[in-house]
Each structure stands twice: as structure tokens, then as C-alpha cells.
Structure 1
Amino acid sequence: MAEMNTGSATALAAEGGVSVEAPSPQRERIRLAAVQLFTRQGFAGTSMKQLAHALDMVPANLYNYFSSKEAILFDVLHHQLSKLHEHTIHVVKRDDRPSAQLRALAENLVLSDLKDPMAAFVGIQGVKGLSHGNLEVVSQLMRDVRMAWGGVIQRGVDEKEFDVHDVKLCTLSILTLCSSVATWYQPDGPYSPEYVASGIADSALRMAGVRI
């Protein structure tokens, strides 16, 4: 499938029945509380009533901001994936060397996941809980990110910086490695987020055949 920009994804979102509205402090507060509950209890195990209680709101007020539990989930996933895709494009334009691009992409993804619970949630949740229209939008954004990372790896192969036999498999493996860090990282442990991000970036480059 051809690469689609985030503007196209937003158009599809509207077709799917869930619009992406401008951020507001209250909506951000609801997103964060929802992600915390979804992470702890699972999406299926969380109700709008429970979320309203966690926010010290009555359910009717919660519905003024989001029409459903899925609308919150979609909003979080759409926002975070769009931001990741935009940053990926920015990194690719910032440096001509594929090895520098891949290092920056890996470090950014790990740091985002370790410092932002909503970013980490995307890697954990995936597309579970979305109905067809919203699933299509989020899946396309995920493909956009994979294609951008894959483009970096392919250029590295073409320019003899990387030694990769299967670009798609390498791309998926590196993205999985970076996205999994938030599942085991302990903030009170011996490693800082920056130290971990640097180490994971080294591993990503080794997976692409670069000698570190």
C-alpha cells in the first residue's frame, strides 16, 4: 500500500465516525487517566463510569469531551502515532547518513516511551479495541511509521552503510526492540532513560549490520 500522510489519516478518521479535536487541558487529563486505567485493567475491563470516577467527574460530563471509550482510545493512538510519524520525517531530513538517522529514530522512540505514558501505551495496546473505521486509520499510521523507518534502512543498504538481507524483517525487529523497552524499564532502577536509549540505539545499529 502506498504511503499515506497524516492528513489522509485524519480524513479517514472522520469517515470512521470519530473526529480528532484540538487538544485542551481537560481532554489531555482524560486521555492520561484513560491510558493509566487501560494499562492497569485492560481496555475491555475499563468502563466510562470507572474513568469518570477516577477523574472525579460525573459520567455525563465525561461524554461532553468524548463520545465513547473507543473515542478516547482512538484519540490517544492517532495523536501519538501522528507525532511519531512527523518526528520520523523530521529526523530523516535532519541528517543525510542512514546510520545517524537510525540512531536518532531509535533513541527518540525509546525516550518517548520511557518519559510519556501515552507514547508507551501505543506499543503495548496496538490496534486492540478499535472498530473497523478507526482500525483502518490507526493501522495506516502504523504502516506510515514502518515505511519511514524501512526507507532509512533501505537507504543504508543502498549506500553500503548497512548489511541487511531482509529490510522489512529488520525494520520490524528494530521497532519491536525499541517499543518493548517500556515493558521492562524500572524508573527507580540503575539506568537512566538516556543510558537505555543509547544502548538500544547501539543494538538497533548492530541489527542493521553496523559495527559499534
Structure 2
Amino acid sequence: MRLRTLEEINMPCSQCRGIEAFFDDNEARSELKNYRKKGPRNTTRQLLNAIVERDPKDKTLLDIGGGVGAIQHELIKAGIRSAVSVDASSAYARVSLDETVVRGHADRLTHHLGDFVDLADSIESADIVTLDRVICCYDDASRLLERSTERATRMLGLVYPRDGLPNRAAVWLLNLGLRIRRSDFRLFIHPNTLVTGILEGAGFRRVHLRKNLIWQVVLYERIGSQRL
């Protein structure tokens, strides 16, 4: 499988260009090395555990901002039928594709490079949709979440920063540093009310919540999907 270049897919937004530059080959390979050595990071593992508790066997996965593929590979091991990964970083997409081949999952995993919001119409719905540390990298969280809920038939899982003054102050300082470095990439703290309002408005209810000082791990289930 060949991934198109950014020039071929024409990602015009400054945040997308920032993602491409920030999440470069060094970052991707470092994260893959950590995943191979230690497994999924703690918050990712918490989200995976919440999904596995609800029996993902024979289900399908759409992993938005899939990174090196930790969620995809772990859920394939847990018995899902197939997975689709979408990422806006070409470096992460390449590394993830290579790891898919190494793990022998190429027949069950499809990769897309680009902005999910733009690609959503061409991507099929999935039983499970995940966004692990993704909405904090995207300015228009409303649109991203709306498009994500449209594709989730059973579950939608999120890992995103807690909405509070300490996190907001930290992100302000980080973004100041990015501006000084002339980077297009920015981080965002989106209000909890925005996230819950969109998910609940789309017919989901929260079934899992865990928090640490920085992150919150949330799993939503579509109301009535248990009967499908």
C-alpha cells in the first residue's frame, strides 16, 4: 500500500501543516520504540480496557489520529474484525503502516493520510471510534466530534485534557513557545461541556470515566446499541 504525500492530498489548513511538521519522523519512531518496549501508554491502556470490557470481538474500529497504531494492534489482538486508521502526520502514517506489516495485520488494517474531517465522507462507519489525544491537537473540535459521532455505531472513546486552569495555563505557555519557534502547530483545551453536549446530543451516554492530573479517559456508548 502506498500513502499519498501531503502535496497530493492538499492539506491547506495551518494546523494540519503544523501537525505534519511537529509530529515528524523522529517523534514517530520514538513513540513506536516506546510502544514496542512498554506497550500502550497508561491512558491508552485505560481506554483499551474499557473497550475490551464491552467485548469488541468481531467489531470494526475507526481510529482517528491513530498514531503508531497502538489501539489498532491491541484491539486486533482482542478480536476485532478490522480497523481503519486516519492520521494527519505522514511520518506517523508511514511508521504505522510499516508496523502493520511487521505484526502481520495488513489484511485487517487500512490506513488513510489526511484530515479526518475532510475524509469522513469517504470512510465507512465503524462499531468503535477512538480519538486518543486528538481533539487537543485540533482547533475545530465541534466539527471533528460531530463527524466522529456520525461514524460511530456503538462506542466512541476519547482521551483528552482536563478542562481546568492549570491545564489552560500550561497550554498557553506551550503555545507561546510554539509561536516563538514559528510553528503552525497549536494545542487546545476544549470545554467538557462542548464534548459532552455533542456526544449526548448525538445519542451517546457515558459509560466510563477516569482522570489523572492532566488527562481524562472517556468511553461513550450509543443508546440502544446494546440491542443490535
TM-score by length of 2: 0.27
Larger relative strand fraction: 2
Structure having the higher Rg? 1
TM-score by length of 1: 0.28
Larger relative helix fraction: 1
Which one has more relative contact order, counting CA pairs under 8 Å at least 6 apart?
Answer: 1
